A and B are shown apart, each in its own frame.
Chain A
């Protein structure tokens, strides 16, 4: 069959994003890579159940997430006991983000309930639609939307508290867009 090589190729293409999601769940690179490794094994074993041409990224994220939670349950750990999101090796220029730098933002993310944090990462960083994210997390779309919206409100509050002295809410968008709207 010709489908196996491209199954491998599709998995390869998804690995960077899958790792990033794993790091966001486990908070540590070594644990994240173990989790990705287990996910690769699981996915490979059940590749028959994957339909080529459908969304392999969402499929792999679902497997990884299920694996993460089942491992946590087996160890009797609460998700909240994990080491926090993106705890290590941050390789971004903090100065780019002004007063509320990324370290503070990580703390803000850590302060969210696990389901909200996961929701905001899947939608805001992994690039999934609400529908896909709801499927990955096995919840209703409305639930996903409300998790994201609560997370966003909370993060925005924290951003405002941290940044209000010298950092306006439009500063980041002004940097990103070459020319902000003329307001």
Chain B
């Protein structure tokens, strides 16, 4: 997520009323952030690990 550190929006982005200090922008970020801050479920992390180790094993087999 883009974080604007300065108080008011003078960044190069064209937020057009969606910046973090606007009514809509702050609420959008609050909703989105509430999910984003959750712990990522184990099954997703395990899937990535599995894919990664399967690929590593495949590579090892290929180089033999």
Contact = CB atoms under 8 A, between A and B. Distances in A.
Given A40-B44, A40-B51, A179-B7, A124 B18 contact: yes
A176 to B, nearest CB: 5
Interface residues of B, number: 41
Which secondary structure dominates where chain A touches chain B?
helix
Given A16-B37, A19-B38, A102 B8 contact: no
A156 B17 contact: yes
Interface residues of A, number: 58
A88 to B, nearest CB: 9
A16 to B, nearest CB: 5
A12 B44 CA distance: 9
B43 A90 contact: no
A86 B35 contact: yes
B44 A177 contact: no
B60 to A, nearest CB: 12
Interface of B: 1-2, 7-8, 13-18, 20-38, 40-41, 43-45, 47-48, 51-52, 55-56, 59
Given A1-B59, A90-B34, A123-B15, 5 more contacts: A20-B35, A92-B33, A102-B30, A149-B16, A173-B21
